[in-house]
Amino acid sequence: MGERKMSSGSRLVREGEGEGEGEDIWAKATKAADDLYILRDTYFPPNPLDKISKLQSQSDLSLNLLDSIPLEYRKSPVQRATYEYLRGKLLDVVPEYNKEAEDHLSKAVKLNPSLADAWLCLGNCIWKKGDLPSAKNCFNLALSKGANKKILCLLSMLERRMAQGSENQAQIVEESIQHAKDAITLDVKDGNSWYNLGNACLTSFFVTGAWDHSKLLQSLKAYQNAEKDERMKSNPDLYFNCATVNRYLENYERALSGFEAAALKDPSLNATEEVQKMVNLLDKLENLLRGQARTKRLASLASSLAAVNCKLPDSFVFFLDDTLQF
């Protein structure tokens, strides 16, 4: 959950400021927040705790930079709102809910209700503490400020989470799919929007009984479009989820290579368990082929699987959660 670019803060503080020095200070603070979230979205060490530690240390440095902004540049409501927004965003970069982050973001939207990015961050923060309806309200308020692909993607993700355990799962997931499509309409080349659509279609496949392969094909196409965006090459979940689709479509060679790519990018995913499941299937198919004549489809499948090198580096710790990375 989260966004990579948030530049409106530095733009908003220019109002009433008129000082080049002041603009530069706010621009540096905003860039520090942007860089912190890029780190969050691209840094996947073998030990997830190392990531949290690094995010925390970088967050502390960025907070020090923000606090170094002279009080004279924090006087107007717009300036104070931007300060509260950036402080809340920096505090909220870690996975756990942070009450202080929520307080700062709440102050930001009170001081400047038109600050869409602050509403987005507030919704993301509230989501972490489990208040999904309030989080959705924040996203809708952010969206009311203008169409935005990042907000639409987060809204789509939240709706998939809200569908879990509800009586009208299929309907809520369809709303998720529609918001994902709306995001793509705003930027057809944005890989994250395509990735989000792929996840929504894959969720729909499971929610509707895991029989409609057209949903799998739609999901696969969306993931393939996401892979065209260079910025998505650092996203291990894209490769993991795409491999999952290929596994259900019985494209086992592609599934194996996809799980391997996911594990290389984020060792904590440890996709070897999925690889082993398919290797076991290959063994069963080979045994069937030895014992009796089977269809050409089975023979072709076994041949395809046999050609794949299923071994991952020995340094991997083999564990894989069965839940998809939505």
Task: Report the pLDDT averaged over residues 88-95.
Answer: 98
- What's the pLDDT score for residue 296? 59
Secondary structure element (H or E) that encloses residue 251, with its range: none
- What's the pLDDT score for residue 16? 43
- What's the pLDDT score for residue 289? 76
% of the chain surpassing 70 pLDDT: 82
Contact status, residue 158 vs residue 132, Cβ threshold 8 Å:
yes
- Residue 104 structural domain: 1-146
Q: What is the DSSP letter of 71?
A: G
The model's confidence at residue 308, banded by pLDDT at 50, 70 and 90, is very low
Does position 313 have pLDDT exceeding 50, yes or no?
no
On whether residue 237 sits in a domain, the answer given is no
Tokens of 200: 């929504």
The model's confidence at residue 40, banded by pLDDT at 50, 70 and 90, is very high
- What's the pLDDT score for residue 95? 95
Does position 10 have pLDDT exceeding 70, yes or no?
no
- What's the pLDDT score for residue 300? 64
Q: Quick count: other Cβ atoms within 10 Å of Cβ 40?
A: 19
On whether residue 69 sits in a domain, the answer given is yes
d(CA 261, CA 240): 8
- What's the pLDDT score for residue 290? 73
Does position 3 have pLDDT exceeding 50, yes or no?
no
Does position 12 have pLDDT exceeding 80, yes or no?
no
d(CA 148, CA 156): 12
Does position 18 have pLDDT exceeding 50, yes or no?
no
- What's the pLDDT score for residue 230? 95
Q: Which phi and psi (to 5°) does residue 161 adopt?
A: -70, -40
The model's confidence at residue 81, banded by pLDDT at 50, 70 and 90, is very high
On whether residue 97 sits in a domain, the answer given is yes
Task: Report the pLDDT averaged over residues 7-28.
Answer: 59
% of the chain surpassing 90 pLDDT: 68
d(CA 49, CA 43): 12
Q: Residue 115 — left, alpha, or beta (φ > 0 → left; ψ -120 to 50 → alpha)? A: beta
d(CA 293, CA 166): 47
Sign, CA dihedral 23-28-31-32, equals negative
d(CA 3, CA 37): 7
Tokens of 281: 């299937």
Domain count, the chain: 1
Exposed/middle/buried for 208, CB within 10 Å: 0-12, 13-18, 19+? middle
Each residue's pLDDT tens digit, 209-228: 988 899 999 999 999 999 99
Per the listing, tokens 């008129």 go with: 18
- What's the pLDDT score for residue 93? 98
Q: Residue 210 — left, alpha, or beta (φ > 0 → left; ψ -120 to 50 → alpha)? A: left
The model's confidence at residue 298, banded by pLDDT at 50, 70 and 90, is low
The CATH number of residue 13's host domain is 1.25.40.10
Query: Across all residues in the chain, what is the average pLDDT?
Result: 85
Q: Which of 259, 225, 218, 269 is nearest to 239 (CA)?
A: 259
d(CA 104, CA 89): 9
Each residue's pLDDT tens digit, 125-141: 999 999 999 999 999 99
Task: Report the pLDDT averaged over residues 29-41.
Answer: 96
- What's the pLDDT score for residue 295? 58
Q: Which phi and psi (to 5°) does residue 55 adopt?
A: -60, -40
On whether residue 181 sits in a domain, the answer given is no
Each residue's pLDDT tens digit, 98-118: 999 999 999 999 999 999 999
On whether residue 277 sits in a domain, the answer given is no
Q: Which phi and psi (to 5°) does residue 7 adopt?
A: -110, -5
Each residue's pLDDT tens digit, 225-284: 999 999 999 999 999 999 999 999 989 889 989 998 998 888 888 777 887 777 788 788
Does position 299 have pLDDT exceeding 90, yes or no?
no
Exposed/middle/buried for 83, CB within 10 Å: 0-12, 13-18, 19+? buried
- What's the pLDDT score for residue 33? 98
Q: Quick count: other Cβ atoms within 10 Å of Cβ 204?
A: 23
On whether residue 32 sits in a domain, the answer given is yes
To the question of pTM greater than 0.85 for the whole model, the response is no
- What's the pLDDT score for residue 269? 82
On whether residue 115 sits in a domain, the answer given is yes
Angle subtended at Cα 186 by Cα 180 and Cα 192, rounded to the nearest 5 degrees: 50
- What's the pLDDT score for residue 143? 97
On whether residue 284 sits in a domain, the answer given is no
